[in-house]
């Protein structure tokens, strides 16, 4: 393998990792927004229970 090929691969991986981190933080923000909307309707204890339950199930 040439040096150039190795550096290209690693930089591509770094870019993909950054994109992955960005998409994860966006998902987290969307979840928080949904929960904030729900919290207006549902008692806090129920929301907390739902958050804990869904967090363990939907983790990919």
Per-residue pLDDT of the chain (60 residues; tens, 9 = 90+): 445 555 566 777 777 777 777 778 888 888 888 887 876 665 666 666 766 776 555 444
Q: What is the CA radius of gyration of the chain?
A: 19
For the chain, the straight-line distance linking the first and the last C-alpha, in angstroms and rounded, comes to 34
CA separation for the pair 24, 18 (Å, rounded): 10
C-alpha 52/C-alpha 3 separation (Å) is 47
- Please state whether the predicted TM-score (pTM) of the whole model is above 0.75: no
């Amino acid at each position: 393998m040439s040096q150039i090929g190795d550096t290209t691969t690693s930089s591509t991986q770094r870019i993909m990792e950054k994109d992955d981190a960005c998409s994860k933080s966006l998902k987290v923000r969307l979840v928080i927004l949904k929960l904030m909307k729900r919290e207006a309707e549902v008692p806090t204890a129920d929301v907390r229970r739902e958050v804990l339950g869904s967090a363990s199930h939907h983790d990919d």
